[in-house]
Amino acid sequence: TNTKLRDSVSSLEKKMKDLKGKAAEHSRSLRLRNQAEKKLEVLKSEISKDKKFRASLQRKLKEEGEERRAEKKAAKLQATKLLRDSQKMKLELQKVKDAAAKQANVLRRKAAEAISKQKAAIEQQKRRSNASSMRNSSLCSKSDISKE
């Protein structure tokens, strides 16, 4: 009976040792599981943060793209307006040049007409003067002839 008791105690001690080992293994498993769950939460948080960051970047890229398109459109409109204004200014300048050329031609023609009239008046004056001189000299010679 003593041996039976010893065998029974030995068997129970072995079972206790096994159970302690299993308890330690279970405890280690729980600890590892808790660590894994914590790591999982950290990773989920990082993923969520990265998704938000990515969404923010995409939104920013979209906004910048829209801004660039708007700036490009505005620049194109501005260039078109400047080109149109430039064409208008060229036309206006050409009109002013044409008007100035016409005015210069009119002034040249009027000046030439005035000079021509002045020359004609001088010539007519000379002719009258010559005619008067000739009449006077003719009258003088006639009076000289009649005196004789």
pLDDT in tens, 4-44: 999 999 999 999 999 999 999 999 999 999 999 999 999 99
> What separation in angstroms does the CA of 58 have from each of 55, 62, 65?
5, 6, 10
What's the pTM? 0.46
**What band does 139 get if pLDDT is binned at 50, 70 and 90?**
low
| pLDDT above 60 (res 148) | no
| pLDDT above 70 (res 134) | yes
Question: What is the predicted pLDDT for the residue at 146?
Answer: 58
CA distance 148 to 145: 5
